[in-house]
Chains A and B, each alone.
Chain A
Amino acid sequence: MLSAVAEARRVLRSPDPVSGRPHGLLVDIHPTDEPTHLEVWHAEYGAAGNFVEHPDKLEAIHRVPVGWLEHDESLQDFTAATDALAGALDHGFSLQHSTTFDYRYFFDTLDEFTEYLEDNEKHARASDELLERALMAMKEAVTTPKLVMVQRTVVTALRKYV
Chain B
Amino acid sequence: MPLATPSDLELKTIRSLVGFSGCRVLEIGAGDGRLSWPFAPEAAQWIALDPDADEIAAARTEKERDREKEKVRLAIGDGRALCFPASHFDIAFFTWSLC
Return the contact of B99 from the options A78, A155, A157 (Cβ within 8 A).
A78
Beyond A54-B8, A112-B1, whether A22 also contacts B91 by CB under 8 A is yes
Beyond A4-B28, A81-B99, A106-B3, whether A22 also contacts B90 by CB under 8 A is yes
Question: Does A29 touch B at the CB level, under 8 Å?
Answer: yes
Q: How far is the CB of A54 from chain B (nearest CB, A)?
A: 7
B97 contacts across to A, CB distance below 8 A: 4, 30
Return the contact of B92 from the options A25, A102, A112, A120 (Cβ within 8 A).
A25
Cα-based distance from A129 to B16 in the complex (angstroms): 39
A112 contacts across to B, CB distance below 8 A: 1-2
In chain B, residues 1-50, which have Cβ atoms closer than 8 Å to a Cβ of chain A? 1-3, 7-10, 12-14, 16-19, 22-23, 26, 28, 35
Return the contact of B17 from the options A14, A99, A149 (Cβ within 8 A).
A99
Q: How far is the CB of B69 from chain A (nearest CB, A)?
A: 23
A56 touches B3 (CB 8 A): no
Question: Does A8 touch B at the CB level, under 8 Å?
Answer: yes
Question: Does B88 touch A at the CB level, under 8 Å?
Answer: yes
Complex: chain A residue closest to B98, CB-CB = A81
Chain A interface size, under 10 / 10 to 19 / 20 to 34 / 35 or more:
35 or more
Beyond A22-B19, A107-B2, whether A11 also contacts B10 by CB under 8 A is no
Cα-based distance from A3 to B26 in the complex (angstroms): 16
A103 touches B7 (CB 8 A): yes
Cα-based distance from A11 to B2 in the complex (angstroms): 36
In chain B, residues 55-99, which have Cβ atoms closer than 8 Å to a Cβ of chain A? 79-82, 84-99
B1 contacts across to A, CB distance below 8 A: 106-108, 112
B13 touches A8 (CB 8 A): no
A78 contacts across to B, CB distance below 8 A: 99
Beyond A25-B18, A107-B2, whether A12 also contacts B87 by CB under 8 A is yes
A48-70 interface mask toward B, CB cutoff 8 Å, 1 = contact, 0 = none?
00000011100000000000000
List 8 additional A-B contacts (Cβ < 8 Å) besides A5-B98, A30-B98, A153-B10.
A11-B86, A11-B87, A11-B88, A27-B91, A28-B94, A29-B94, A103-B9, A105-B3
